[in-house]
Amino acid sequence: MPRNPRVILMVALLLLGGTLIGCSDEAVDPLAADPLADNSPSVDNYDLMDFSLPYGGLTTSDEAEAFGDGSLQLMMLAEDEELVDDPLADDPAISERPVFTFLKLRWGMLSGPEDSLRVNDGHCEVTDWTGELHTDRGLVVVRRMVAFEQPADHVIFPRLDEKTVAFVSHTSCGSDGLVIQIIERPIDPDAEGYIPNILHINLAGYQGEFEVGQLAALDLLIEVDEQGNQIQLTGFKISDLNICPKGFLSGRFGRIPGQGDAEEMGVDERPGEHLGNIAGTWTNLTGRIEGFLRGGYGLDQTGNRVFFGKYIDRQGRFRGMLVGTWELAAEERDLAAFSGHWVSASGNAEGRLGGRAYSVEGSSGGFFAGRWATLCDDEAVGEIR
C-alpha cells in the first residue's frame, strides 16, 4: 500500500521517542507493552489513580502536549492532510438549510483511536472498500478523511452531484474513514406525505441504508467479514451550528494487568480498585482535534462503576475534569459504555459526554467512540447517552 506523510511522521516519532504505537500496517502486540504508556512524564500519575478520592486524585494541572502519547500526537500532526476542501462547503444553499447531521464513519480493522492500537500479526489481506454514499435529498459535504493512504486512496472530485460522495479506499491491517455533514431544509416528520431522508452506503463488500433523522442516536459497529473487518458509525444532529461547541470523542481503553480479569472474582466485587485506563481525542464536528482526554475507570469504595479523567487542549492546558459512570460488557470483563460530564477548574459543570466501547479480540482492551456537548445546547446534550 502506498505510504503517505503520516508514515514519515511516525518513523520520526519512533526515532525520537521509541514508544509510539503507530498507524501503519506493522503489528504491535498490545500485551507486550502498556498501550497507554507515556512518552514523557505527566504531572498526574494515571497508572496510580486512587478511586477513593474525588476525580481519582487527578488535579487541574496542565500536561504535556497530548499527554506525551506518541500515537495521539501523530493524529494531530496528520490533521492537515486529512482535511477535505469540498467545494460544496461554500454552497450558498447551506444557509437556507438549518438542519445539520454530522456522521463519522470508519471501516477496516478497527482497533484504537484511528488504529493506534494494533492487535493483529501484520499480515492482513487487502480489502477493497471503494464505493459511494448518497442521500435522497439535501447536500452531503465531506469535512475530513480519516487515515486515508493518499494519493492512492482518495475522495473523487469533481463530485457526481451534491448528494453523492464517491471514494477509493483500500485497507489491510488498518482502517479508513470519513467525516461528512448532511444539510437539509427542515421538514415536519408528522406532515402528510412525509418521506424520511435515507443515507445509502454502497461499498465493495457492504451495503446499508440508514434514516438520516435517526443518525443522531447512532453508535453502531457492524461486522463485515470473517477477516475481522468492521464498519463503525457515530452520528450527531443539530438545528444550529453556532449555538454551542460540540463534537466527537474517540480513543482506546486498556485493562490494568491483573485487574478486572480474575476468574475467581467478578469486576463488581472489587470495590475501590482501578481496573483500566482510557485515552483519546476530543474533536469538533468536522473532526478537527480540539484536545485530548486521559483517565481511568474502576470502582469506588461502595462498588459503583465510575470513571475519572482530564481533558486538555491542543497545547496541554487543562480544560476540564471528567467524571461519570460506565457499563460492563455482557459476559465479559470489559468496558461497554460510559456516560458523564466535565467540570471546570472551579467545579462548574460545563457539558456532557458519553459513548460506547468495543473490545478487540486478542488484546487487553479495545476502543471507544462517542460525543460531547456543552450544557448551553439542550438539543445536543439530549442526544448523548
| Rounded (5°) CA angle 154-160-166 | 30
Per-residue pLDDT reduced to its tens digit, 208-258: 999 998 888 788 889 998 888 999 999 887 765 556 888 999 999 988 876
Beta bridge partners of 176: 107
Residues 228 and 103 grouped into a single domain = yes
| 3-state SS class at 270 | coil
Is pLDDT at 365 greater than 70 in this prediction? yes
- pLDDT value at residue 222: 92
Residues 267 and 375 grouped into a single domain = yes
Dist. CA 335–CA 367, nearest whole Å: 9
Considering the domain boundaries, does residue 291 fall inside one? yes
Considering the domain boundaries, does residue 283 fall inside one? yes
The answer to whether residues 283 and 250 touch, using CB atoms and an 8 Å cutoff, is yes
Residues 41 and 182 grouped into a single domain = no
Per-residue pLDDT band for 82 (boundaries 50, 70, 90) equals confident
Beta bridge partners of 283: 248, 289
- pLDDT value at residue 268: 57
Residues 51 and 112 grouped into a single domain = no
Per-residue pLDDT band for 26 (boundaries 50, 70, 90) equals very low
- Give the domain-ending residue among 238, 255, 280: 238
Q: Is the peptide bond before 113 cis (omega within 30 degrees of 0)?
A: no
- pLDDT value at residue 217: 76
Considering the domain boundaries, does residue 22 fall inside one? no
Considering the domain boundaries, does residue 215 fall inside one? yes
Q: Is the peptide bond before 158 cis (omega within 30 degrees of 0)?
A: yes
Give me the number of domains the chain comprises: 2
Per-residue pLDDT reduced to its tens digit, 254-304: 888 765 444 444 565 567 789 999 999 999 888 889 999 999 999 998 889
Q: Torsion angle, CA of 55/57/63/65, rounded to 10 degrees?
A: -60
Backbone angles phi, psi at 268, to 5 degrees: -75, 0
Q: Shortest CA distance to 323 belongs to which of 336, 339, 312?
A: 339
Residues 298 and 224 grouped into a single domain = no
| Rounded (5°) CA angle 133-135-139 | 105
| 3-state SS class at 317 | coil
What average pLDDT does the chain have?
A: 79
- pLDDT value at residue 16: 33
- pLDDT value at residue 333: 66
Residues 70 and 88 grouped into a single domain = no
Is pLDDT at 116 greater than 60 in this prediction? no
Per-residue pLDDT reduced to its tens digit, 52-71: 889 999 999 999 999 988 88
Where in the sequence is the domain holding 92, given as residue range(s)?
84-238
Residues 212 and 289 grouped into a single domain = no
C-alpha cell at 313: 487542549
The answer to whether residues 382 and 215 touch, using CB atoms and an 8 Å cutoff, is no
Please state which of the ranges 36-50, 120-134, 192-206, 327-341 shows the lowest mean pLDDT.
36-50
Backbone angles phi, psi at 335, to 5 degrees: -70, 135
- pLDDT value at residue 76: 80
Sheet holding 164-168, edge to edge: 154-155, 164-168, 131-135, 198-203, 206-211
Backbone angles phi, psi at 313, to 5 degrees: -85, -170
Residues 127 and 222 grouped into a single domain = yes
The answer to whether residues 308 and 55 touch, using CB atoms and an 8 Å cutoff, is yes
Dist. CA 82–CA 145, nearest whole Å: 5
Residues 196 and 56 grouped into a single domain = no
Percent of the chain past pLDDT 90, that is, above it, reads 41
- pLDDT value at residue 112: 53
Dist. CA 35–CA 253, nearest whole Å: 9
Residues 73 and 210 grouped into a single domain = no
Considering the domain boundaries, does residue 25 fall inside one? no
- pLDDT value at residue 381: 79
Is pLDDT at 194 greater than 50 in this prediction? yes
The answer to whether residues 247 and 282 touch, using CB atoms and an 8 Å cutoff, is yes
